[in-house]
Structure 1
Amino acid sequence: MNQPNGRRPRVLYLAFYFPPTRASGVFRARATANHFAERGWDVTVHTAPREFFTRYIDSYDETLESTIHPEVTVVRPGLDYYRWVTDIRDYGRFRANFPSLATMLHRWETERFFPEHYASWIPRVLAAALKQHRKTRFDLVVATGNPFASFAAAWMLHKLLRVPYVVDYRDAWTFNQFTEELKYPPDHSAWTWEERVLREAAEIVFVNNGMRQWYADRYPFAAERMTVVPNGWEPEILGDLDTEPVPDRPLRFGYVGTVTDAMPIEELFDGWRQARHDPALQDATLHVHGHLGFFPRHVPVLLDRMPVEEGIGVHYEGPAPKADIAKVYDSLDVLLFWVPGARYVTSGKVFEYMATGKPIVSVHKPDIAAVDVLDGHPLWVRNADLSSGSIAQALITGARLARSRTPGQARAAREHALRYTRDAVLAPFEQRLRSLARA
């Protein structure tokens, strides 16, 4: 439905991480922009320059840009690369000659304006948005974080243009959702900025109820405007996978996603060593598909923690482009839901995992937010704790499920997952924002 004046509702979507980056939050951002465009919105996305992903952080997947809806307009305001320039040959004259003073001034300038390395993106976003708004006004601004410079930009645009704004917490801003510790001391300006943003936001969105509750307790004045929009999965990317039980051959266990140092790495492989003594895992293999960390420097450290040379069937397969992800899932018999443990962690991969119709073995602390999503999935194997014995038993149970799984169980698993397609989880959100834009 169009606006009362007959034109499409127009949204400015501030998503620093957007294709071609492969950063974990990009799939939520991509899906949100596509869903709104598909529902008839005029969508403009402000994201980072392409070279930031390809040159400075080496985090990109060339296949992702082709999955953006053709009617989404993508704008790439610049930013200051000071934080990411590490080669002295690329330094300016002042920084090369006075590096300590240059760093001190850069830090002072950043903290005075906005306490984040991405602060320099904000004025470029404002300049581009003001120019676009003068041509055709925006009805709404939506910002997703991290980084939280997008939240600050949304608040500033609200002040300048009197346009309502919505903030989407893919991650927590002021506390670490993996360790459950506060990120900043009580007098840090990040707290001031967060309270400022939340006081005037029209809606505040979180990926799970645990995170929403933490913020509701911290900022009770905004609790009534806090909602949950879970992550989801894309049927057009996953396709239809094999639903037959595994024939009489060695089983292939697998993990699909980014490996980080916050995951229970040693715990998984200790459990794997123990489980391989069981006949159910005779000659079974474990395949890790994905990036090791978010930056190149993480690769050797994480690879060293994986027993790929031990002769116990562990293989690191490297990253898979999103366009090939269905083939990867089809090659596996049992999926390992292997994630950092905390009450505020859901993970985006769990939704794809559920939709495959394959057995899922949990390898994480038992009380993370993702268990609320998995509860009721007919092929989910829950680990009791992170002891090697508990993980080994879960792996053995998963192996037996792979052999005995029926097409009916696989269909029931996919039906469970249908509640979490991107369109299903975003539809109520889009309707609320349409009403907000019309108002």
Structure 2
Amino acid sequence: MSRHLLLTAWAFAPARTSGVYRAIGIANAFASAGWDVTVLTAPEKVFADEGIVDQSLSDLVADGVRILPVPFSSGVYSSDVAEWSWARARHPELWAGARSLRFPETGFGDWRRALSEAAAAVHRNRRVDLSLGTASPSVDFIPGWQLKRRHGVPYVMDYRDAWTIDVFSGRPNPRASPRALKWERTFLRDADQVWFVNEPIRDWHREKYPAFADRMKVVPNGFDIVGGVTPAVPFRPIETDRPLTFGYVGTINSGQFPTEALLAGWLRARERSRDIAEARIVLRGHLGRTGVADAALAAFLERAADHGIAYDGPVAKSDVAAAFSEFDGLVLALASGPGVTSGKVFEFAGTGLPVVSVHDPESAASTVMAGSPVWSPARSMSPDDVADAFIAGAAMIRAQTPRSRADAIRWGAGWERMRQLQQPVRELTARQTDEVER
């Protein structure tokens, strides 16, 4: 009989939100290795009500992966006031506080009971051989922890984010309560493995919890092959007098997307370079979590439109490769912080297109791009340094040849998601086989 993985991911296909691609990738990697996979996730309606659904994501899930919706309600993800109880409508703060007593995570803590019951039912119907929770939210770790405590089932924490540490600074998260710290230590103490998406986040947790350092490892994100298509963009010659088009594909979050640094550096580059003065940037992606720009982001887009920066709407996952093919080069614009990688950096790397980085040089994304032969990073977020990166990127676009594009694509192919997951899944499969034989 095949081994059975229980994967807990609050958001799973077709939800369009942070962490979904990694969760889908984990499910597919285990399925490819011969595991039966059951996924505990929030019902699709939770995300549909907020307008954060992309039906094309369901096509990415491997055949045979069983998706089990677990009832979920939250003050964060429940905008229909007609569905609220009297207590919630009259005393929302007290209502939310009472719900979080089950688990110290605002907006998600009350899910603990439903997750526990669902995991127990799955295990009764078909023994779970390995449990894996991918967070945030950290309540996703509950099923694995409980199955380990009650039935000895090994479990993995996929800590793609952080709970008690601020990933932008590496300092303690001021919003993390003493109960959250206690729960985190308990989870880490009992876990068989703990995965992190980059070295800075892993190293911060190793320093904080040295007793559990031996079970912590880095399992990076990667780009996805959708319908057999990679992000790779075939080379096409650029006429000497044709204006260049830089592109960005990804969510544009107010307060995280570096709007001011990008615009200031772009304007300085347009002053210094005729090539950039005639070029444009096309932004593609959802505006924030819901797709609606707040006042600050709307104001930026209006100002930017006067200077060759255009917003051209969101892109379905199935259309990402086609969107990349419309660009001559890419702009990797990210929030700054040593623990920030972002999933889009891997897709950008996979295109083979020249990439201009507009983010803190200390970002973990720099570690990913460091080996690229077509990378033009800003030395800092100052206007002059961002301008230098754009000017160098334009020169790189003009100089690229079929051979150098092929070399860049070959380098980027190493960041495909299944390649990143193959070895960790293989190790867990071998470990499970050894335990069965013993």
TM-score (norm 1): 0.93
Matched, 1:271 2:235: no
**Which structure 1 residue ranges, 5 or more long, are not aligned?**
1-6
Q: Would you say 1:63 and 2:56 are equivalent positions?
A: yes
* More divergent stretch after superposition (58-67 vs 237-246): 237-246
Q: Residue in 2 aligned with 1:330? A: 325
Number of aligned positions between the proteins: 429
Question: Which residue of 156, 161, 173 maps to 1:166?
Answer: 156
| Corresponding position: 1:53 with 2:43 | no
Deviations 1:359-404 (A, max 9, x none): 0001011111111111121000011101111111111111111111
Higher mean displacement: 189-198 or 110-119 = 110-119
> CA, structure 1 residues 245+379, in 2 after alignment: closer, same or farther (shift >3 Å)?
farther
Q: Which SS does the other structure have where 1:205 is aligned?
A: strand
CA distance in 2, matches of 1:131, 1:294: 33
Does structure 2 conserve the Cα–Cα contact (< 8 Å) formed by 1:269 and 1:307? no
Question: Is 1:73 paired with 2:43?
Answer: no
Q: Which moved more, 1:267-276 or 1:288-297?
A: 288-297
- Name the aligned partner's letter for residue 49 of structure 1: P
Structure 1 residue 186 displacement after superposition: 7.6
- Give the equivalent residue in structure 2 for 1:38: 32
Tell me the distance in 2 between the aligned counterparts of 1:155 and 1:331: 46
RMSD between aligned alpha carbons?
Answer: 1.8
Opposite residue 304 of structure 1, the aligned amino acid is: A
Residue pair 1:33, 1:72 contacting (<8 A) in 2 also: yes
Contact 1:184 1:190 in 2 (8 A): no
Cα gap change, 1:76/1:87 in structure 2, threshold over 3 Å: closer, same or farther?
closer
The answer for the alignment partner of 2:4 in structure 1 is 10
Deviations 1:170-206, CA, capped at 9 Å, x for gaps: 1111122124342246862110000000001000000
Unaligned runs of 5+ in 2: none
Deviation at 1:297, TM superposition (A): 5.7
Asked whether the equivalents of residues 245 and 404 of structure 1 are also in contact (C-alpha less than 8 Å), the reply is no
Residue 429 of structure 2: which of 426, 431, 434 is its match? 434
Secondary structure, in 3 states, of the residue corresponding to 2:141? helix
Equivalent of 2:394 in 371, 388, 399: 399
* Contact 1:244–1:405 (8 Å) recurs in 2: no
Structure 1 residue matching 2:161: 3-state secondary structure:
coil
Q: Aligned partners of 1:106 and 1:325: how far apart in 2?
A: 38
Q: Hey, what does 1:26 align to over in structure 2?
A: 20
Query: 1:180 maps to what in 2?
Result: 170
- Indicate whether 1:153 and 2:143 are aligned: yes
Instruction: Provide the C-alpha distance between the structure 2 equivalents of 1:433 and 1:343, rounded to a whole number of angstroms.
Output: 29
1:296 shift after superposition: 4.9
Cα separation, partners in 2 of 1:312 and 1:75, compared to 1, 3 Å: same
CA distance in 2, matches of 1:13, 1:353: 28
Match of 2:197 among 199, 202, 207: 207
Written as runs of structure 1 = structure 2, the 5 A alignment for 1:309-388 is: 310-388=305-383
C-alpha distance in 2 between matches for 1:13 and 1:87: 29
Say whether the 8 Å CA contact 2:248–2:330 is kept in structure 1: yes
**Where does residue 415 of structure 1 map in the other structure?**
410
Q: Contact 1:308–1:315 (CA<8 Å) still a contact in 2?
A: no
Partner of 1:3: none
SS of corresponding position for 1:280: helix
Matched residue type, 1:76: P
Q: Contact 1:292 / 1:303 at 8 angstroms: preserved in 2?
A: no
**Deviation for aligned residue 1:307:** 4.1
Q: Is the 8 A contact 1:237 1:323 kept in 2?
A: no
C-alpha distance in 2 between matches for 1:186 and 1:382: 34
Task: Find the aligned partners of 1:254 and 1:39 in 2 and give their Cα distance.
Answer: 36
1:127-182 deviations in Å (ceiling 9; x for gaps) = 22222211210100000000100113321222122211000111111122124342
- Aligned CA distance change for structure 1 residues 308 and 67 (closer, same or farther; 3 Å): farther
Letter in 1 for 2:238: V
How big is the shift at 1:350?
1.0
Sort the Cα spacing of 1:308 and 1:22 in 2 relative to 1 into closer, same or farther, 3 A: farther
Q: 1:303 aligned to 2:298?
A: yes
Specify the alignment match of 2:234 in structure 1. 242
In the alignment, does 2:261 pair up with 1:262? no
Greater alpha carbon shift after TM alignment, 238-247 vs 347-356? 238-247
Is the Cα–Cα contact under 8 Å of residues 237 and 325 in structure 1 kept in the other structure? no
- What amino acid sits opposite 2:216 in the alignment? M
The whole-number CA distance in structure 1 between the counterparts of 2:191 and 2:213 is 11
Which AA in structure 2 matches 1:29? A
Q: Indicate yes or no: 2:93 matched with 1:93.
A: no
- 1:85 aligned counterpart, secondary structure: coil
Partners of 1:151 and 1:281 lie apart in 2 by 48
Tell whether the 8 Å contact from 1:212 to 1:228 is kept in structure 2 after alignment.
yes
8 Å CA contact retained: 1:118, 1:149: yes
Cα distance, 1:370–1:95 mapped onto 2, change above 3 Å: closer
Give the corresponding residue for 1:216: 206
The CA distance in 2 between the partners of 1:232 and 1:240, in whole Å, is 14
Alignment identity in percent?
A: 34
Q: CA deviation at 1:215?
A: 0.3
Q: Please state whether the residue corresponding to 2:409 is helix, strand or coil.
A: helix
State the one-letter code of the partner of 1:348: G
Q: Distance in 1 between matches of 2:160 and 2:333?
A: 19
